[in-house]
């Protein structure tokens, strides 16, 4: 097996020993299959990032651990790798640990492995659970800063949070749905289906709180039907939505907090039910296609490129490579994207 990278560099990327990498490369056997996959993934990551790695400047290793549907982690990966060149003369390499679902013990194990192997910083999207917060605290105590992405861990000593104001996002969704459902007619009682990937994510909980509060204050004719634990995956989310539609004939709109929007649209079609207003989150490939087709009406988006740049800069500040800021930067702006103002995005057609 030939490759252009020093064994020591591959070992650092994979988080394993030089001897293990040597055994994998020389195909001598005796290495666990998961470790072999980790080494092969490291080679792939190095190859994809090779055009972004310069010779000048300090070098930093960044770990990205996310529990989210692949369509979203793909968008984050593309945004991060597009931003890496802008961080020169510092050079950041990234190791990705991406999972559609992962139980809390698995998340803690991965964070512990990162702590033991060493890292300059961690970008983390994970559920807000005490065991996860404790693992983040152990990383911080070891000098490894953690920046939370999209959803926060407020009880931990994470370095910072990068993303939108999730409570304001929920209020924005309520404003759009309330106005569109009530436009040109006398308000009548209707139901809004609110879908979450899981009620363990702080960001999703904040969005739901904001949505409920805004409906209660401004659109009392609308009530909520909630489904959760579909993890934003089409199969599980679709089943939950089909059950909700069969049970609640008054559902007229959707606020999709946790994703799985293709499956939600299909569930309405299979039930022969119209969806008068559909609001989603994030301009991933699925949502772009659904916007273009008119199946969903608006997406609440935030600039992932800007988020990745801010997250990396925060890691660099924690490592003393950038000066501290005089004040905390603002949260990401909430953009309302419709089929008529779709922006050009890296990696999304």
Instruction: Please tell me the distance from the alpha carbon of residue 35 to that of residue 37, in angstroms, as a whole number.
Output: 5
pLDDT at 344: 75
Query: What tens digit of pLDDT does each residue of 12-48 get?
Result: 989 999 999 989 998 888 889 999 999 999 888 887 7
Q: What are the start-end ranges of the E strands in the chain? A: 59-67, 91-99, 121-125, 146-149, 160-162, 190-195, 222-227, 251-256, 277-281, 298-301, 335-337
Q: Residues 107-135: what's their mean pLDDT?
A: 97
Could you tell me if 253 and 177 are in contact, meaning their C-beta atoms sit under 8 angstroms apart? yes
Strand 277-281 and strand 59-67: the pairing is unpaired
pLDDT in tens, 291-313: 999 999 999 999 999 999 999 99
Q: Length of the chain, please?
A: 349
Q: How far is CA 135 from the centre of its chain?
A: 19
Which of 296, 94, 121, 125 has the alpha carbon at shortest distance from 195?
A: 296
At 64 the three-state DSSP class reads strand
pTM, entire model? 0.83
Query: Three-state SS string across 182-214, please?
Result: HCCCCCCCEEEEEECCCCCCHHHHHHHHHHHHH
Q: What is the mean pLDDT of residues 238-260?
A: 96
Helix-, strand-, coil-residue percentages of the chain, each rounded to 5: 45, 20, 35
Amino acid 5: pLDDT: 83
Q: Please say if the pLDDT value at position 90 is more than 90.
A: no
Q: What mean pLDDT, rounded, does the chain reach?
A: 91
């Amino acid at each position: 097996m030939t490759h252009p990278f020093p064994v020591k560099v591959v070992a650092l990327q994979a988080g394993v020993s030089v001897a293990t990498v040597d055994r994998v490369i020389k195909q001598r056997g005796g290495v666990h299959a998961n470790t072999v996959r980790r080494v092969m993934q490291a080679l792939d990551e190095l190859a994809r990032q090779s055009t972004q790695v310069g010779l000048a400047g300090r070098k930093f290793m960044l770990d990205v651990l996310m529990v989210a549907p692949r369509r979203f982690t793909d968008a984050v990966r593309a945004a991060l790798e597009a931003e890496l060149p802008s961080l020169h003369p510092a050079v950041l390499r990234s190791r990705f640990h991406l999972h559609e679902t992962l139980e809390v013990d698995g998340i803690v194990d991965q964070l512990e492995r990162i702590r033991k192997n060493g890292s300059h910083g961690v970008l983390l999207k994970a559920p807000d659970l005490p065991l996860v917060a404790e693992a983040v605290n152990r990383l911080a105590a070891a000098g490894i800063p953690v920046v939370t992405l999209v959803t926060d861990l407020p009880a931990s000593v994470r370095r910072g949070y990068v993303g939108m104001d999730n409570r304001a996002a929920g209020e924005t969704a309520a404003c759009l749905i309330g106005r569109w459902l009530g436009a040109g007619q006398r308000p009548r009682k209707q139901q809004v289906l609110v879908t979450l990937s899981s009620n363990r994510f702080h960001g999703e909980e904040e969005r739901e709180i904001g949505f409920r509060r805004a409906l209660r204050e401004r659109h009392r004719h609308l009530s909520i039907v909630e489904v959760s634990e579909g993890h934003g995956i089409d199969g599980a989310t679709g089943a939950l939505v089909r059950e909700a539609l069969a049970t609640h004939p008054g559902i007229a709109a959707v606020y999709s907090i946790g994703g799985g929007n293709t499956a939600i649209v299909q569930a309405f079609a299979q039930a022969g039910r119209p969806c008068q207003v559909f609001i989603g989150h994030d301009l991933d490939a699925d949502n772009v296609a659904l916007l273009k087709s008119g199946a969903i009406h608006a997406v609440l988006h935030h600039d992932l490129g800007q988020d990745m740049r801010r997250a990396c800069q925060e890691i660099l500040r924690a490592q003393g490579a950038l000066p501290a800021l005089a004040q905390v930067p603002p949260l990401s702006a909430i953009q309302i994207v419709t089929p008529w103002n779709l922006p050009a995005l890296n990696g999304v057609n």
